[in-house]
Structures are given as C-alpha cells and as structure tokens.
Amino acid sequence: MTIQAASDALVSLNGVNKHFGQLHVLKDINLQVKKGEVVVVIGPSGSGKSTLCRAINRLETIDTGEISIDGKKLPEEGKELALLRADVGMVFQSFNLFAHKTILENVTLGPIKVKKQDKATADKDAMALLERVGVGQQAPKMPAQLSGGQQQRVAIARALAMKPKVMLFDEPTSALDPEMINEVLDVMVQLAKEGMTMIVVTHEMGFARKAADRVVFMADGQIVEDAKPEEFFTNPQSNRAKDFLSKLL
C-alpha cells in the first residue's frame, strides 16, 4: 500500500463549520478520503451525518472551511457546480426516483441533460448499469411498480450513470424492509470491491466490517473517532463511541 499525501485526497474537508441558526451542526470537520477508500460514517441521530453528506454534494452551504473534490474547491453555484456535483453521486434513504419517468429514463436523464450524452449511448449505458445492479428487466416499468430494494438499486445505477468519482450513501437501507436490505448492501459491497471511493452513512455494522477501510464516528457535530473497523469495533476510544456501540450491538 502506498502512503499518499493529504493533498492526494479525492474528497477533502478542512476546518468545515456549519450552523443552522444557533445550532452548531458541523464543528471544525477535517476529513480526507483517498481514491478507492470506503469510509463508513456512524453516530447517533442528529450528530450531523446527513449534513456532512449534503455539504460534500453542495446541497448545503457551509459557513467556514473548505471542501474539495479531486483537488477542485466546491464552487458556489452555476454551471460549474452542476458539473462538479456530477462527480459526487448521492443515494439517499428515500429513493427519490422520478415517479413519472420509467426506470430507464430515471437513469438516462442526468447523462442526457447534464453530460449531453446522445440518447442511444445513454440508453445503452443505463441498461448495462441496471443489469449490473440486477434490475435490467425492470427498465420499462415505473418506479411504483418496483419493490423498495429494487428502487434503491435503481437509485444507485442512476448515480453511477454520471460516472461519479465518489459515491455518498446516506442511510441507504434504513427505509427498506429487512428482507431487502441485503440486496442493496450486496450491490454496495460489490461497488467497493471494484474500487469505488465511497462515503457511507449506515447503521449496518456488517457492511462496515466487510467493506469499510475506515469508520468515522460522529457525535454532536464532531468527528470523535476515525479508525480501521476492527480497531473501532473492538477497542473504541471514547465513551461516546462505547455507549453508541453498546446500544447497537
């Protein structure tokens, strides 16, 4: 394994602070994620995990600090932002598929609109992605005709269609019936194995143990621990993490 300088980070947050009114939601966050790394973010509800993800995708502004993707600082707005955002795929808890478009159209919309791909190429690429996540046969259907697990796999395919450099997952399985969780996690594990850079907010500790290079534990807007999964799970350093894990396991 080669040791990379911090500046080689694909995703880099330096001194990031964010308030919602009086509430200090992100407190001096420093986080570097290298190419191919899988970072699982865990922590109690309200600790700032979603805000962190949304800030990385610039769905949320930050007050101070800097976020860069592949060495490029996140721009404020405009066309540049749309392109940079395309580098960051995001999958949410609620699948957020476009309800009035087919599964195939859900996946081709971004490449056609943002990346100006021609329809034939976009269709072909989208079909390959849908096959890859195991829902190729669903391509002509509408989102409501699919199960939650299938819809979430479509959401992953849709994000991948933009050829992102990093994928963010914000509790991608929390809204799913238990029997569908694994079909989504399996796709994510596969993606991790293929070398995708991933930041994953999840309470699925099995996924963290299997796929994470690092576990980042957040509490009260701060990164409290940042360790390899085996270290974190067997020997958490802080009382906050010990307490959190004891309630989880």
Which positions touch ligand ADP (CB under 6 A)? 20, 23, 25, 43, 45-51
- Give min distance, CB of 86 to ligand ADP, in A: 23
DSSP readout, 135-187?
Answer: -GGGTTS-GGGS-HHHHHHHHHHHHHTT--SEEEEESTTTTS-HHHHHHHHHH
Size of the site for Mg ion (CB under 5 A): 2
Count Cβ atoms within 10 A of the Cβ of residue 185 and give its class: 0-12 exposed, 13-18 middle, 19 or more buried: buried
Do the Cβ atoms of 52 and 223 come closer than 8 Å? no
- The residue range among 23-31, 45-53, 114-122, 125-133 that interacts with Mg ion, by the rule CB under 5 A, is 45-53
218 phi and psi angles, rounded to 5 deg: -110, 145
Do the Cβ atoms of 103 and 146 come closer than 8 Å? yes
User: Which residue number, 117 or 152, has a Cβ lying nearer to Mg ion?
Assistant: 152
**For residue 218, which of 43, 26, 59 has the smallest C-alpha distance?**
43
Pairing of strands 214-219, 38-42: parallel
47 binds Mg ion (CB under 5 A): no
Binding partner at 20 among Mg ion, ligand ADP, none, C-beta below 5 to 8 Å by kind: ligand ADP
- Give min distance, CB of 122 to ligand ADP, in A: 33
- Give min distance, CB of 201 to Mg ion, in A: 6
Binding partner at 143 among ligand ADP, Mg ion, none, C-beta below 5 to 8 Å by kind: none
Cross-strand pairs, 39: 199, 214
User: Which residue number, 50 or 108, has a Cβ lying nearer to Mg ion?
Assistant: 50
- Give min distance, CB of 204 to Mg ion, in A: 14
- Give min distance, CB of 216 to Mg ion, in A: 14
3-state secondary structure of 222: strand
Residue from 50, 57, 108, 197 that binds Mg ion (CB under 5 A)?
A: 50
H or E segment and range at residue 131:
helix 119-132
- Return the residues of window 7-26 that contact Mg ion according to CB under 5 A: none
Binding partner at 12 among ligand ADP, Mg ion, none, C-beta below 5 to 8 Å by kind: none
- Give min distance, CB of 51 to Mg ion, in A: 8
Binding partner at 152 among ligand ADP, Mg ion, none, C-beta below 5 to 8 Å by kind: none
Q: Which residues bind Mg ion (CB under 5 A)?
A: 49-50
